[in-house]
Amino acid sequence: MQDLRSGPFRLAANVPSSCPLIDWRLMMKPNRKLTIYPKSAFLSIQMPNEGITLVASPLVIGRKPKAVDVPFGAQIQKLGVVKDRRRQGDRRQAENLPKVHLQLIDTQPFRLSRTHFMIQRMLDGGYLVHDLGSTLGTQVNDNFIGINFRNDFATLISGENIICAGGGDTPFKFRVAIVKNE
């Protein structure tokens, strides 16, 4: 454990050397494991069916900014380049957008924003879904969150959760499992 009385992590000059210090890294050790799975056929093409386990927090999910070739069965659809059409006064500026860890492909009309939502681990070991100002919002276990709704965030429960990004008829449906670590 690093001594927090000196160096860049100095607490206060008047902390006696006999004072026990808390190692916050131990308090933040997750007691529950989160795995996100594709729930729709559209997502199962883009994500592994065995899911993605969250190892670092936060996990930001959004749309790929540039188009690529996407296999849909035997056909290949060529997508065009997505132009940045931010509205005047948008609360998010391009330089403030978080890095997207899971980039998914979407076609017009777009259902998924470039930075749509994030899953973040809380200090108590629970998980929070936060809509990042998406146009169509996010649905978490039948609760709608986003800029057009009452809240921007929702807490995930232990067990099975459903997250739908981009409205009711969206192909971006995820199953999120939270289980206790052994």
Domain ranges of the chain: 39-82+96-180
CB-CB neighbours of 94 under 10 Å: 9
Q: How far apart are CA 123 and CA 136, in angstroms?
A: 29
pTM for this entry: 0.68
Distance CA 46, CA 174 (A): 12
**Across residues 144-166, what is the average pLDDT?**
92
What is the CA angle 3-56-35, rounded to 5?
A: 140
Q: Which residue has the tokens 């795995």?
A: 35
The per-residue pLDDT for 99 is 86
* 88-147 tens-digit pLDDT: 444 444 556 678 999 999 988 899 999 999 999 988 888 999 999 999 999 999 899 998
Helices (H) and strands (E) in the chain, counts: 2, 13
Computed over every residue of the chain, the mean pLDDT equals 75
* Reported confidence tier of residue 148, pLDDT bands at 50, 70, 90: confident
Q: How do residues 60-90 score in pLDDT, each as one tens digit?
A: 999 987 644 344 433 333 333 333 334 444 4
What is the spatial distance between Cα 21 and Cα 16, in angstroms, rounded to a whole number? 10
29-33, 37-41, 113-117: least confident range: 29-33
**What dotted CATH number matches 39-82+96-180?**
2.60.200.20
In whole angstroms, give the CA distance from residue 119 to residue 61: 8
Q: Are 178 and 47 in contact (CB under 8 A)?
A: no
The SS3 assignment for 119 reads strand
